[in-house]
Structure 1
Amino acid sequence: MAKYSGIWPVAPVAFHEDGRLDEDGTRRILDCMVDQGVDGICILANYSEQFLLSDAEREQLTRLSLEQVAGRVPVIVTISHFATPIVIERARLARDLGAAMVMMMAPYHGATLRATPDQILQQFAQVGEIGLPIMVQDAPMSGTDLSVPLLVQMAREIEMVKLFKIECVGAAAKLRALIAEGGTDIEGPFDGEEGITLLADLDAGATGSMTSAMIPDQIKPILTDWAKGDRAAATAGYARILPAVNHENRQCGFRAAKAVLKEGGVIASDFCRHPIAPLAPQTRAMLLDLVRPLDPVALRWGK
C-alpha cells in the first residue's frame, strides 16, 4: 500500500433542529466513522457544510474533532480561504491541535475573484512553512483551473505539498497525467466526489479516495481489493455500491450522509442550515431504499 492510501471520508457536522451545533452528535459521527475502519477523516470540508459555519464554530469544531478522534486515525483539517493570513492561522491551529495534515483549495472568492498561478504557489508555500503535509483540493467549486504542470510544480517546489484530491471533470485523465509527469513527487493521488468515478480513478493510479461519510465501510473493500490486484472483486464491489453513490452524488449532495446517519440513530437530526433545503421526502426515501441492501454500519451503529 502507498504511504497515503485508503478511504479518508469527510465528516459531516451535526445540528440541532434549531440550527445550533450538536456537539454530541458530531462526536458520535466521528466515533461511527472510526468504527467503520476508515483510514483517516477530513473535517470542515465542503461536505461538512464549511460555508455555513462561522469562524468561531470552525475553531470549536476543529478542537472538538481532534479531541474526540484522539489519534485513533489521522485527521485532515480543511483550511481554505481567499486570504493567505487566515489560511496560515487555520493551519497553525490545526498543527497545534494535532492534525495530521491540512487540505486547501486554490484561493477564490465568489464568482470572479481568482488567484494567479504565482499567487497560488505563494499561498501554498507559506502554509507549507507551518510544517504539516498539504492535500491540494482540485475542486470545481473554486472555479480555478489547476493545470497538471502547475500541480507538478507545487509538488516539486513546496516540500509539504504531498497529496492531491482530484475531483474535476475527467478526474481519471488528470490523475493519470499528474502521476506520469510528477512521478514520485505525487505521494498521495486521491479522488473525491463520493467515489462516483472511483474505479476509473483507481485504474489511473489513485491510491485513495475521499468520499462522504455515508457508506465508507462499503467502499473501502474496493480500494483494498484493487491494491491487492484483484480487479474482478473491486469491479464487483464498485457495481454493488454505485446506484447508492450515484443517487447521493446526483440527487442529494452532502445531505445524503446525514440522512443515513439519522436513520441509523447516529444523530438525532439531519438538519442543514438555510438556504440549504431539506431533502424531498421521495428523494430521501429512494436514498434509503438504495442504501439498506448494502447494510452499512451507519444504518445500525446507533440502534
Structure 2
Amino acid sequence: MKKVHGVCPIAPAVFHDDGSLDLEGYRRCCDAMLKGGAQALALFGIAGEYYKFDREEEEALIPVTVEVCHANDAPAVISNTRHSTESATKWAKRIEASGADCMMLLPPFFLKPGAAEITRHVEAVCDAVSIPVMFQYAPEQTGVTIPPEALANLAARHQNLNYFKIECKPPGAYISRLTELLKGKQAEIFVGNAGFQMIEGFRRGAQGVMPGPSMFDVYRKIWDALEAGNDAEAFRVHAKLNALLNHIRQNVEMIIHFEKRILQRRGLIESARCRSPQFRSDAVYDRLFDELYADLEPEFIR
C-alpha cells in the first residue's frame, strides 16, 4: 500500500451542465491535480458532494480514482460514509477490493448515535478489512464529538487504524493530545477544515493536509515551504489563501460552489454545475470572490 502523506485533496464531483456525472471530465481533473502537485486524492469526502451521488455513480467513480492515482504513483483514499454498520462493513470490503490504498471512515451521525454505538461501528469496519483506515473527525458537520482518548484507544486495538483527519474547531490542542496518545504507534494525523490551521497543525506534528480540490498547488507550495523550514514563505502564501477561504467557506455548500468555479476558471473542469440543493451566489459575493481570487492567482502553477 502507498503511504498517504502531504497534500491529499478531496476529489471533486464533476458534472455536466445537465447535472449528470462527467466521468471522463473527472478523470482528466484528477490527473491534472496529481500532475500539478497533489500527493494523493480522497474520493467521497464532504467537499466532494458524496451525499449527492447514487450507488451506480459511486461504483463508477471508485475504479477511475484508483486507476488515475496509481498511474501517477499516488495513493488513492476512498471514504466509507455508510450509516449502518452492516452496510459500512460490506462497503469496506468493496473499497478494499478496488485496490484503494486507504479507506477513510466517517462515523455515522444521523440521529446522533451514542459513543458506544460509534465505537462498535468503527471496530466492525476496521475488522472487516486489512487496508489502512483513516478516521475522519468532523464534529462541525456531523454534530458528533469524540475525545482524543477514544480515538487512541481504537488505534491501540486496531493495527490498521493508521490515519486521523482532524477538523474540529480549534484543532490544535486536539492534534497535540492525540499525537501524544498515539506515541509509539504507526499513525499519522491530517489537518482538515480547508487547511485553515495547516501551519499550526504542522507544528503540532500533523503529516498532511486534506483540503478541497481547486487550489491543490497552493497548499503544496505552503507544505513544501514548511518542510523546508521556510516559514516566511509558508506564512506569505497561507495568508493569501486564508483571505479567500474566509470568504468562500461560510458554509460547506458555499465552498463547494466556489471550488467548482475555481476549477472551471483554471480549465480543470468544463462545468461548475453543483447538484441541488446548493448555494446560490449574488453580485456582492462574486465581486469579493473575484478580488480575492486575483490576489491568490499568481500562486497557482502554470
Q: Same fold (TM over 0.5)?
A: yes
Residues 298, 60 of structure 1: alpha-carbon distance in 2 compared, 3 angstrom cutoff: farther
Residues 284, 63 of structure 1: alpha-carbon distance in 2 compared, 3 angstrom cutoff: farther
CA contact (8 A) 1:259 1:284 kept: no
CA contact (8 A) 1:103 1:137 kept: yes
Percent identical pairs in the alignment equals 24
Uncovered stretches (5+) of structure 1, i.e. residues with no partner:
none
Equivalent position SS for 2:135 = strand
**What is the Cα-based RMSD across aligned positions, in Å?**
2.1
Residues 275, 243 of structure 1: alpha-carbon distance in 2 compared, 3 angstrom cutoff: same
Counting only pairs closer than 5 Å after superposition, residues 59-138 of structure 1 correspond to structure 2 as 59-72=59-72, 73-109=74-110, 112-114=111-113, 116-129=114-127, 130-138=129-137
Counting only pairs closer than 5 Å after superposition, residues 153-302 of structure 1 correspond to structure 2 as 153-185=153-185, 187-250=187-250, 252-295=254-297
CA contact (8 A) 1:260 1:298 kept: no
Over residues 28-77 of structure 1, what are the superposed CA-to-partner deviations in whole Å (9 max), with x where a residue is unaligned?
21112112121110111111101111122111211222233334211110
TM-score by length of 2: 0.90
Q: Distance in 2 between matches of 1:18 and 1:282?
A: 26
Over residues 138-183 of structure 1, what are the superposed CA-to-partner deviations in whole Å (9 max), with x where a residue is unaligned?
1022211111110110111111111111101111111011112221
Q: Distance in 2 between matches of 1:142 and 1:179?
A: 23
CA contact (8 A) 1:217 1:296 kept: no
CA contact (8 A) 1:10 1:48 kept: yes
Residues 222, 209 of structure 1: alpha-carbon distance in 2 compared, 3 angstrom cutoff: same
Uncovered stretches (5+) of structure 2, i.e. residues with no partner:
none
- Aligned-pair CA distance for 1:237: 2.6
Over residues 188-227 of structure 1, what are the superposed CA-to-partner deviations in whole Å (9 max), with x where a residue is unaligned?
1111111112222222221210011121111112222222
CA contact (8 A) 1:81 1:108 kept: no
Which shows bigger deviation, 96-105 or 56-65? 56-65
- Aligned-pair CA distance for 1:296: 6.6
Tell me the number of residue pairs that the alignment of Structure 1 and Structure 2 aligns. 295
